[in-house]
C-alpha cells in the first residue's frame, strides 16, 4: 500500500491509493487512533447498487401495496362513494322520465238545495239533483316519453364517465401519496444509517481526543454535527407519519388500522413506448374525454326532447251524468292551439347547447393530447436525471465518503475534509431519492393522462 499526501492551494487534499492482495478479503477492525496512519490494509470499498429500495417498515404492521391501496380507495374512499351515488340518482331520473301521465278522476254534483235544507230527500236527489262522474287522460304527442327516457339514459351514461374520471383522479392521488410515503421511508432509512455511521465517528473522535490526537475544537464540531443527523431522523419520522396519515384518509379512514405500513420497492421503473402511442391510447381510454363526447349525445337528446315538447298534447275526457231519469255519457277533448307558444326558446337554447358541447369536446380532446405530451416529456426529463445519478455519481459519493472516513479515523485527513465528504454523500443520496420520487410521480402523471395504469 502507498499513501501519498498532496497540498494544493493551501488546502490539504488526501489521495489514498490502495492495493489489495485479494478482492474478497473482509474489512479489518479499525485500530486505536494514532498520530500517523497505520500500515494496515484499508477496507475494500463495496459500492451498493444505485437504488433506494430499503424502507423503514414497522415490524408486524399491516402492509399495503400500491395496487391494494388503489383498490381500497376505490372501495372505501367516501368522496368517490358519494360521487357514485350520482349514477343511482340519474338512474332514478330514468324511471321518472319513463312514467306515463296519471289519469284524472272527476266528480261533481249540481242543483243541491243548500239554502233549502228541508228539500233534502232521497227523491229530490234522485230526480232533481245532477250527478257527474268522469275520467280524463293526457295523451302525449311527439313521443315525449320516449324522448325523455332517451335523454335521461344519455345523462346517465355521461354521469358514469364523469364518475370514472373522478376514480382516475383518486387513483393518481393515491399513487402520488404512496410515492410520498415511499420517499419518506427511504429518507428515514438513510437518516438512520447516517446517524449510526456518524455515531461511530463520534466515538472514534472521543477516543482520539482523549489520546491527545485532536483538539477539543474538533471534538465539539463533530458533536455539533451529530445534532444535524438527529434532526434529519426526526424530520424523516415526521414526514413518514404524516404521509401515512394522509394516505389513510384517501384509502378510507376505517379501511386500515393506525399502525399500517406500505410494501413497496421505491426503485427505478423503466418504460418504453412512443408519444404517439400514448396519445392514441389516451383518446380511447380517458373517461373525461368520453364524458365530453357523451355530452354531445345528451345535448342532441335534449334538443329532440324540446322539439317534441313543442307539439301540444291532447286531453281526452269521458263523463257519466245522472239527471232525473236521464243517464248520459259525454265525451270531451281539448288541445292547445300552438299560435304563440311552440317552445321556440327551449328549442333554440338546446341547439346552442349542442354547439357548446361540441366545443367542449374539442377542448377536451386537445387537453388529453396536451396532458399526455407534458407527462411524457416530464418522464423523459426525470429519467435522464435519475440515469445520471445511477451512472456512477452514487458510487463516487459513497467511495469519497468511505475514503474520507477511513483517512480521518487513521489521522490522514482533517475534520473539515471528512465533514465535507459526509455532507456531499448525504446531499447526493437525498438528491437521488428526490429525483427518483419525481420520476415515479411523473410516471403516475403519464398513467393518469393516458387514462390507464397498463402502459408499457
Classify residue 330: in a domain, yes or no: no
Phi-psi region of 64 (alpha: psi -120 to 50; beta: other; left: phi over 0): beta
212: how many CB neighbours lie within 10 A of its CB?
A: 9
Domain span at 196: 2-21+43-100+141-310+345-450
Is residue 329 within 8 Å of 346, Cβ to Cβ?
no
In a domain, 378, yes or no: yes
- H/E stretch holding 329 reads strand 326-335
Residue 114 located in a structural domain:
no
Question: How would residue 60 be classed by pLDDT, with cut points 50, 70 and 90?
Answer: low
Has residue 420 been placed in a domain? Answer: yes
Residue 194: give its domain's CATH number: 1.20.1600.10
- Number of domains present in the structure of the chain: 1
Q: Would you say residue 112 lies in a domain? A: no
- pLDDT, tens digit, for every residue of 440-450? 999 999 999 99
Among 109-123, 141-155, 435-449, name the one with the lowest average pLDDT: 109-123
Give residue 76's Cα distance to chain centre: 14
What is the CA angle 377-379-380, rounded to 5?
65
Q: State the CB neighbour count (10 A cutoff) for residue 312.
A: 17
The arithmetic mean of pLDDT across residues 144-166, rounded, is: 97
pLDDT tens sequence across 405-437: 888 778 787 778 878 888 899 999 999 999 999
What sign does the CA torsion over 37, 40, 41, 45 have? Answer: negative
Say if 220 falls within a structural domain: yes
| Residue 178 located in a structural domain | yes
Amino acid at each position: 500500500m502507498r499513501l501519498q499526501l498532496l497540498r494544493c492551494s493551501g488546502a490539504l487534499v488526501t489521495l489514498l491509493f490502495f492495493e489489495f492482495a485479494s478482492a474478497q478479503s473482509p474489512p479489518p477492525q479499525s485500530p486505536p487512533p494514532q498520530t500517523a496512519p497505520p500500515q494496515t490494509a484499508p477496507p475494500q470499498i463495496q459500492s451498493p447498487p444505485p437504488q433506494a429500495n430499503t424502507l423503514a417498515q414497522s415490524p408486524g404492521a399491516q402492509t399495503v401495496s400500491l395496487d391494494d391501496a388503489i383498490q381500497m380507495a376505490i372501495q372505501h374512499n367516501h368522496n368517490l362513494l358519494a360521487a357514485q351515488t350520482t349514477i343511482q340518482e340519474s338512474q332514478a331520473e330514468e324511471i321518472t322520465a319513463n312514467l306515463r301521465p296519471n289519469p284524472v278522476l272527476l266528480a261533481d254534483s249540481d242543483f243541491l238545495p243548500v239554502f233549502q235544507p228541508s228539500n233534502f230527500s232521497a227523491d229530490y236527489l234522485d230526480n232533481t239533483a245532477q250527478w257527474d262522474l268522469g275520467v280524463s287522460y293526457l295523451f302525449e304527442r311527439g313521443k315525449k316519453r320516449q324522448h325523455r327516457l332517451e335523454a335521461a339514459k344519455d345523462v346517465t351514461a355521461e354521469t358514469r364517465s364523469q364518475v370514472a374520471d373522478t376514480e382516475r383522479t383518486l387513483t393518481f392521488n393515491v399513487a402520488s401519496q404512496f410515492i410520498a410515503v415511499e420517499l419518506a421511508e427511504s429518507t428515514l432509512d438513510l437518516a438512520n444509517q447516517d446517524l449510526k455511521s456518524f455515531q461511530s465517528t463520534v466515538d472514534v473522535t472521543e477516543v482520539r481526543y482523549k489520546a491527545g490526537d485532536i483538539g477539543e475544537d474538533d471534538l465539539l464540531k463533530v458533536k455539533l454535527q451529530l445534532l444535524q443527523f438527529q434532526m434529519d431522523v426526526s424530520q424523516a419520522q415526521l414526514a413518514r407519519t404524516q404521509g401515512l396519515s394522509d394516505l389513510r384518509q384517501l384509502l378510507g379512514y376505517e379501511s386500515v388500522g393506525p399502525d399500517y405500513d406500505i410494501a413497496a420497492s421505491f426503485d427505478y421503473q423503466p418504460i418504453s413506448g412512443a408519444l404517439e402511442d400514448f396519445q392514441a391510447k389516451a383518446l380511447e381510454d380517458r373517461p373525461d374525454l368520453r364524458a365530453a363526447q357523451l355530452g354531445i349525445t345528451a345535448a342532441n337528446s335534449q334538443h329532440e326532447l324540446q322539439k317534441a315538447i313543442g307539439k301540444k298534447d291532447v286531453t281526452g275526457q269521458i263523463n257519466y251524468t245522472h239527471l232525473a231519469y236521464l243517464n248520459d255519457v259525454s265525451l270531451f277533448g281539448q288541445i292547445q292551439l300552438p299560435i304563440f307558444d311552440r317552445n321556440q326558446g327551449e328549442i333554440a337554447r338546446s341547439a346552442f347547447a349542442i354547439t357548446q358541447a361540441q366545443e367542449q369536446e374539442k377542448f377536451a380532446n386537445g387537453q388529453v393530447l396536451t396532458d399526455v405530451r407534458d407527462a411524457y416529456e416530464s418522464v423523459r426529463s426525470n429519467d435522464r436525471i435519475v440515469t445520471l445519478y445511477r451512472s456512477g455519481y452514487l458510487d463516487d459519493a459513497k467511495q469519497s465518503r468511505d475514503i474520507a472516513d477511513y483517512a480521518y479515523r487513521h489521522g490522514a485527513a482533517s475534520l473539515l475534509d471528512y465533514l465535507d465528504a459526509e455532507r456531499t454523500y448525504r446531499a447526493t443520496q437525498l438528491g437521488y431519492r428526490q429525483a427518483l420520487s419525481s420520476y415515479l410521480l411523473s410516471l403516475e402523471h403519464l398513467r393518469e393522462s393516458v387514462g390507464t395504469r397498463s402502459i408499457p
